[in-house]
Amino acid sequence: MKLLEKKNINITNMNNMCARLDAFDTYELDGMMPEVSLYQSGYLTISDYDDEMGIYTLDFPNKEVRASFSDSLVGHCR
């Protein structure tokens, strides 16, 4: 949640986020894209891959995970 705040991610529009393959090469939190961090933590899954452009589309796998993420946001804002 702190990374989302730090990177000024618009949490109201977190559908179909995109990341290039090289974004997954960073393992340090400060250099990591928030989308990749959410993927690695299990909140997001790969929903599509554009082989020509080398871009992954990431999204919540189901409504339960989306709700869990929303609950985490609410808990963080308190």
Question: Edge-to-edge strand order for the sheet containing 17-20?
Answer: 17-20, 55-59, 45-50
Cβ(28)–Cβ(71) under 8 Å? no
pLDDT in tens, the chain (78 residues): 666 666 666 566 667 788 888 888 877 767 777 888 888 888 899 999 999 999 999 999 999 988 888 777 766 555
Question: What 3-state class would DSSP assign to 6?
Answer: helix
0.85 surpassed by pTM: no
CB 37 within 8 A of CB 29: yes
| Amino acid identity at 74 | V
26 vs 24: CA distance, rounded Å? 6
